[in-house]
Amino acid sequence: MQDQQVIRHEVPAQESSRGLPGGVRLAVQWVVGSILALLIGSWMVWWAVHLQRQFAEDEIRDACQRLMPETVQRCVDTVIIQRGGARR
Protein backbone atom coordinates (compact mmCIF):
# COMPACT_ATOMS: atom_id res chain seq x y z
CA MET A 1 0.00 0.00 0.00
CA GLN A 2 2.72 2.42 -0.90
CA ASP A 3 0.49 4.06 -3.55
CA GLN A 4 -1.37 6.19 -1.04
CA GLN A 5 -0.65 9.88 -0.57
CA VAL A 6 -1.01 11.86 2.57
CA ILE A 7 -3.22 14.90 2.03
CA ARG A 8 -2.68 17.64 4.52
CA HIS A 9 -5.40 20.07 5.41
CA GLU A 10 -4.10 23.56 4.79
CA VAL A 11 -5.51 26.70 6.36
CA PRO A 12 -6.58 29.21 3.67
CA ALA A 13 -4.26 32.17 3.40
CA GLN A 14 -5.40 35.36 5.06
CA GLU A 15 -6.32 38.35 2.90
CA SER A 16 -3.38 40.58 2.24
CA SER A 17 -2.91 43.38 4.71
CA ARG A 18 -2.79 45.88 1.85
CA GLY A 19 -6.51 45.62 0.94
CA LEU A 20 -9.57 46.73 2.86
CA PRO A 21 -11.62 44.25 4.87
CA GLY A 22 -14.64 42.80 3.07
CA GLY A 23 -17.28 44.88 4.85
CA VAL A 24 -15.46 48.16 4.30
CA ARG A 25 -14.80 47.34 0.66
CA LEU A 26 -18.49 46.58 0.13
CA ALA A 27 -19.50 49.86 1.77
CA VAL A 28 -17.06 51.83 -0.38
CA GLN A 29 -18.32 50.14 -3.55
CA TRP A 30 -21.91 50.86 -2.53
CA VAL A 31 -21.18 54.54 -1.86
CA VAL A 32 -19.27 54.96 -5.14
CA GLY A 33 -22.05 53.21 -7.05
CA SER A 34 -24.70 55.39 -5.42
CA ILE A 35 -22.80 58.57 -6.28
CA LEU A 36 -22.36 57.45 -9.89
CA ALA A 37 -26.06 56.58 -10.15
CA LEU A 38 -26.99 59.99 -8.72
CA LEU A 39 -24.71 61.81 -11.15
CA ILE A 40 -25.92 59.86 -14.18
CA GLY A 41 -29.56 60.28 -13.12
CA SER A 42 -29.14 64.02 -12.59
CA TRP A 43 -27.49 64.39 -15.97
CA MET A 44 -30.34 62.45 -17.63
CA VAL A 45 -32.97 64.69 -15.98
CA TRP A 46 -31.08 67.83 -17.09
CA TRP A 47 -30.78 66.44 -20.63
CA ALA A 48 -34.51 65.62 -20.78
CA VAL A 49 -35.44 69.15 -19.66
CA HIS A 50 -33.03 70.62 -22.18
CA LEU A 51 -34.51 68.56 -25.01
CA GLN A 52 -38.05 69.47 -23.99
CA ARG A 53 -37.21 73.19 -24.00
CA GLN A 54 -35.43 72.86 -27.34
CA PHE A 55 -38.43 71.12 -28.93
CA ALA A 56 -40.81 73.75 -27.53
CA GLU A 57 -38.60 76.56 -28.87
CA ASP A 58 -38.44 74.89 -32.28
CA GLU A 59 -42.24 74.66 -32.38
CA ILE A 60 -42.56 78.33 -31.41
CA ARG A 61 -39.98 79.33 -34.03
CA ASP A 62 -41.82 77.37 -36.75
CA ALA A 63 -45.15 78.97 -35.82
CA CYS A 64 -43.59 82.44 -35.80
CA GLN A 65 -41.96 81.75 -39.16
CA ARG A 66 -45.38 80.94 -40.63
CA LEU A 67 -47.16 83.95 -39.08
CA MET A 68 -44.51 86.68 -39.02
CA PRO A 69 -41.62 85.79 -41.33
CA GLU A 70 -40.13 89.29 -41.20
CA THR A 71 -39.77 89.40 -37.40
CA VAL A 72 -39.23 85.80 -36.35
CA GLN A 73 -36.81 86.44 -33.48
CA ARG A 74 -39.00 89.17 -31.97
CA CYS A 75 -42.02 86.86 -32.15
CA VAL A 76 -40.10 83.97 -30.53
CA ASP A 77 -38.84 86.18 -27.70
CA THR A 78 -42.33 87.59 -27.09
CA VAL A 79 -43.98 84.16 -26.97
CA ILE A 80 -41.33 82.74 -24.65
CA ILE A 81 -41.67 85.72 -22.28
CA GLN A 82 -45.47 85.42 -22.33
CA ARG A 83 -45.20 81.74 -21.41
CA GLY A 84 -43.10 82.65 -18.39
CA GLY A 85 -39.76 81.31 -19.55
CA ALA A 86 -36.62 83.37 -19.56
CA ARG A 87 -34.67 82.55 -22.66
CA ARG A 88 -31.41 84.37 -22.05
Is 36 a domain residue? yes
Which burial class, exposed, middle or buried, applies to 76 when counting CB atoms under 10 A from its CB (0-12, 13-18, 19+)?
Answer: buried
Is 5 a domain residue? no
User: How many structural domains compose the chain?
Assistant: 1
Is 15 a domain residue? no
* In the predicted structure, residue 50 carries a pLDDT above the cut 90: yes
Domain of 33, in residue numbers: 22-82
* In the predicted structure, residue 14 carries a pLDDT above the cut 90: no
**Range 74-83 contact pairs with CB under 8 angstroms and sequence separation of 24 or more:** none
Is 2 a domain residue? no
Round the average pLDDT of the chain to a whole number and report it. Answer: 86
Is 10 a domain residue? no
Is 67 a domain residue? yes
Mean predicted confidence (pLDDT) in 76-85? 88
